[in-house]
Amino acid sequence: MEKKPFATREKLEEIAKEYPTPFHLYDEKGIRENARALKEAFSWNPGFKEYFAVKATPNPFILKILQDMGCGTDCSSETELMLSKACGFTGHDIMFSSNDTPPEEFKMADELGAIINLDDFTHIACVEKVLDTFPETMSCRFNPGGLFRISNDIMDNPGDSKYGMTEEQLTEAFRILKDKGVKHFGIHAFLASNTVTNEYYPLLAKILFELAVRVKNAAGVHIAFINLSGGIGIPYRPDQEPNDIRVIGDGVRKVYEEVLVPAGMGDVAIFTELGRFMLGPYGALVTRAIHEKHTYKEYIGVDACAVNLMRPAMYGAYHHITVMGKENAPCDHKYDVTGSLCENNDKFAVDRMLPEIQMGDLLFIHDTGAHGFSMGYNYNGKLRSAELLLQEDGSVRMIRRAETPKDYFATFDFCGLLKDVE
């Protein structure tokens, strides 16, 4: 099985004439189709809303596409709130879900009318210090502790996670917030990352729905929504089966009808905060082979590096690579595909079987649409690339220009020495 790029070699060469490699390219058609499929999968729930995780792809042009598709934003910092405001997101179209939160950011979220999701019990006192009154709607994040399993496979370890409250803390938090004027409550949890299984969301939903019934009875509060957060993953490897969002949505519906409806809670809205699932497959890092090296291994050096995509260097994460124009050629050469950083882990692939690569070949690194550009940095003085949007009509739009040395030096004030740097 082979992953298919969403652009042809001819199209990429055409783009590269105007926008030199490396660059991140996003597929508007794919983004819209995926957002539409998610909405349809949860259409059984009248209050459903997707709050796109801004941290995954913090670009206003991308956010405007998702806004057009009915999505809100999930923010975790001041600048993400600012970006949401600039894009025209207001009120309950914004979810502020943060941790170790600077008090002034709670204030900013409240001024925007965002739903504030508290990560910790002690944040109640923090919010009280910076807000004149508590908002009528608030949410709290839950952590069940222990290990999270699906079919006896350990998916993640919530007990080691810094996020969320215990059930006892969450129940007491709701009691206190109710006394302080909060009328509508939400429950949020994130128990596993990048799951490639249709079972995750329904199992998470069952845990949260049953919790919601217990908390409602114990604290006497109105549960307005349950936020299933993120965790639905994507198939980075070509032999992985993708999640079926319609099967997932139907699985959540069944649990909803089994747990919440009999408890008289059939009005609870379902929220999601997806980042990777929404954007991951619809972005790619396009880079060109510029060097080859033959020592103890065979190396292909490209003009991108971990500055442009750090997941492989940071996590050893797999990103599939297509050598454009050689999609049907045999993968009979073993390469490490590397960048130019002074770090030995600056590799996009290790011992990867690929077609023979010639200097000048374009490499299409798949699934960089989420947590790709956004995790970039400037080590070695490397500059971040442009972001481009392949629009539905086939035209290309620059949605973020490439950095220049002037951008890199902009925060210095050094005797005017650098004022003429381009």
Instruction: Identify residue 316 by its one-letter amino acid code.
Output: G
Contact 343, 383 (CB under 8 A): no
- Give the distance, in angstroms, between the CA of residue 421 and the centroid of all CA atoms in the same chain: 35
Asked whether 48 and 273 are in contact (CB, 8 A), the reply is no
Residues 378/384, Cβ–Cβ less than 8 Å: yes
84 Cβ contact partners less than 8 Å away, ≥ 6 residues apart? 54, 63, 73, 75, 93, 94, 112
342 is catalytic: yes
Alpha-carbon Rg for the chain in angstroms: 23
Of 75, 305, 342, 415, the active-site residue reads 342
* DSSP assignment of 265-284: -TT-EEEE--SHHHHGGGEE
Q: State the DSSP H helix or E strand holding residue 78, giving kind and residue range, or none if neither.
A: helix 78-86
Strands 386-390 and 396-400: antiparallel
Calpha distance 401→396 (Å, rounded): 13
Extract the tokens encoding 106.
């709670």
User: Of 93, 92, 23, which Cα lies nearest the Cα of 64?
Assistant: 93
Beta bridge partners, 245, equal none
Q: What 8-state DSSP symbol labels residue 147?
A: -
The DSSP result for 19-36, as a single string, is: SPSSEEEEEHHHHHHHHH
Q: What is the phi/psi pair of residue 214, to 5°?
A: -65, -45
116 exposure class (CB count in 10 Å sphere: 0-12, 13-18, 19+):
buried
> Cα dist. 95→115, 134, 170, 422 in Å?
5, 16, 18, 39
- Residues with a catalytic annotation lie at 342
